[in-house]
């Protein structure tokens, strides 16, 4: 089996790496903080001290990192993946970053004879743990087919989108859909709450019609329970929206709804709530309407 390196063992990366380990892949891991590395090492993974060491000991290196500069540093910086790259190595970046940055990393790796796929994911921590993520892939079609068995360990829906950057762009499209769905659920519940409706019944009724969505199913009940613990942090959602809006500006595409949600989420950031889950958006809509939504 191909030797896999995994860099970035956060709320998503750690369960994804664990699934690869359980599938029998030899695994080398690295993370900025040591706790997750030690945890996986206890389960059979090999620890590495830097990205270069991961690349030297792997056939495929996966990164799952917070932002564009993190991927650029890990891939191209001192003791980065590039410094340990060789012909035949494949770097799969599963982070959400600027498409152009992903293309630049791919070009640098190609000069060393290495390949790259951009393969960001959707599905949250539960999907990461269960291996049911949606994975959007850009890069060489041949490299994609070679790496498909690895991706299938981590995801259920795996879609080849096109050349380098196409996967990252598709993920930004996904984030646009998610936040507009999120705003819709918040406004639905605030409207129903202001009208005095039983909001559990509102969620049930909407779930049987065209207004249903995974956001309604997963986040609606959390809003009613006042559970704002993070599945996905407000601060990371804001990062994704900045990338989506920057890409839209580059392409000359207006994203009026996305820009609105970004400004509403900025209210939470300004209040020091960037570490809360994105369902906390309902708190902003509540203040605008002068009411609070909660279960009966």
What local confidence, expressed as pLDDT, does residue 254 receive? Answer: 98
17 & 137 share domain: yes
57 & 107 share domain: yes
209 & 150 share domain: no
120 & 184 share domain: no
pLDDT tens, position by position, 138-182: 999 999 999 999 999 999 999 999 999 999 999 999 999 999 999
Mean confidence (pLDDT) of the chain: 97
86 CB-contact burial (10 Å; exposed 0-12 / middle 13-18 / buried 19+): exposed
52 & 189 share domain: no
Q: Which of 171, 222, 273, 294 is catalytic?
A: 171
Asked whether the predicted pLDDT for residue 296 surpasses 80, the reply is no
Q: Is residue 11 part of a domain?
A: yes
Of the listed ranges 11-25, 127-141, 205-219, 245-259, the one predicted with least confidence: 205-219
Please report, for the domain that includes residue 93, its CATH number.
Answer: 3.40.50.720
Domain end residue (candidates: 121, 140, 163): 163
Tokens 């519940």 correspond to 189
Asked whether the predicted pLDDT for residue 262 surpasses 90, the reply is yes
Q: How far is CA 253 from CA 45, 237, 259, in A?
A: 44, 20, 12
271 & 178 share domain: yes
The CA angle 245-106-131, to the nearest 5 degrees, is 75
154 & 26 share domain: yes
Q: Where are the alpha helices (DSSP H) in 141-273?
A: 141-154, 166-194, 199-207, 214-224, 234-251, 256-270
81 & 125 share domain: yes
Instruction: Show the domain range for 260.
Output: 170-289
Higher pLDDT, 1 or 165: 165
Q: Is residue 243 part of a domain?
A: yes
1: confidence class by pLDDT, cuts 50, 70, 90:
confident
State both tokens at 278: 């994105």
180 & 127 share domain: no
pTM of the model: 0.94
Q: Phi/psi zone of residue 101: left (φ > 0), alpha (ψ -120 to 50 degrees), beta?
A: alpha
156 & 95 share domain: yes
DSSP letter (8 states) at residue 45: P
Could you confirm whether 171 is annotated as catalytic?
yes
pLDDT tens, position by position, 194-237: 999 999 999 999 999 999 999 999 999 999 999 999 989 999 99
> Percent of the chain, pLDDT > 90?
98
Domain end residue (candidates: 110, 141, 163): 163
> Percent of the chain, pLDDT > 70?
100
pLDDT tens, position by position, 54-90: 999 999 999 999 999 999 999 999 999 999 999 999 9
208 CB-contact burial (10 Å; exposed 0-12 / middle 13-18 / buried 19+): exposed
Q: Is residue 282 part of a domain?
A: yes
What local confidence, expressed as pLDDT, does residue 294 receive? Answer: 87
Q: Is residue 91 part of a domain?
A: yes
Count of domains observed in the chain: 2
pLDDT tens, position by position, 272-284: 999 999 999 999 9
Please report, for the domain that includes residue 241, its CATH number.
Answer: 1.10.1040.10
110 & 237 share domain: no
Domain end residue (candidates: 163, 183, 210): 163
Which of these, 159, 158, 157, 149, lies nearest to 25 by C-alpha position? 149
128 & 272 share domain: no
What local confidence, expressed as pLDDT, does residue 295 receive? Answer: 82
Asked whether the predicted pLDDT for residue 270 surpasses 80, the reply is yes
Q: Is residue 294 part of a domain?
A: no
């Amino acid at each position: 089996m191909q030797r896999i390196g995994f860099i970035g063992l956060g709320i998503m990366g750690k369960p994804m790496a664990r699934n690869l380990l359980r599938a029998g892949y030899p695994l080398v891991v690295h993370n900025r903080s040591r706790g997750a590395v030690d945890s996986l090492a206890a389960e059979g993974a090999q620890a590495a001290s830097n990205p270069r060491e991961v690349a030297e000991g792997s056939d495929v290196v996966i990164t799952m990192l917070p932002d564009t500069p993190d991927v650029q540093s890990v891939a191209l910086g001192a003791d980065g993946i590039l410094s340990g790259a060789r012909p035949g190595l494949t770097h799969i970046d599963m982070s959400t970053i600027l498409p152009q940055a992903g293309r630049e990393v791919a070009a640098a790796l190609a000069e060393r004879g290495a390949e790259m796929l951009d393969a960001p994911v959707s599905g949250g921590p539960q999907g990461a743990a269960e291996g049911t993520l949606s994975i959007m892939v850009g890069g060489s079609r041949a490299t994609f087919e070679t790496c498909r068995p690895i991706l299938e360990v981590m995801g259920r829906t795996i879609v080849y989108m096109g050349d380098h950057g196409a996967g990252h762009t598709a993920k930004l499209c996904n984030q646009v859909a998610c936040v507009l769905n999120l705003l819709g659920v918040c406004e639905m519940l605030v409207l129903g709450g202001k009208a005095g409706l039983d909001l559990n019944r509102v969620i049930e009724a909407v779930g049987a019609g065209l207004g249903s969505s995974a956001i309604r199913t997963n986040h609606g009940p959390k809003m009613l329970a006042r559970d704002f613990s993070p599945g996905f942090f407000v601060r990371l959602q804001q990062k994704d929206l900045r990338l989506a809006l920057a890409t839209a500006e580059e392409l000359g595409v207006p994203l009026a709804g996305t820009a609105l949600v970004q400004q509403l989420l900025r209210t939470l950031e300004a209040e020091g709530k960037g570490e809360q889950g994105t369902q906390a958006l309902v708190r902003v809509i509540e203040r605008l309407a002068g009411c609070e939504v909660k279960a009966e």
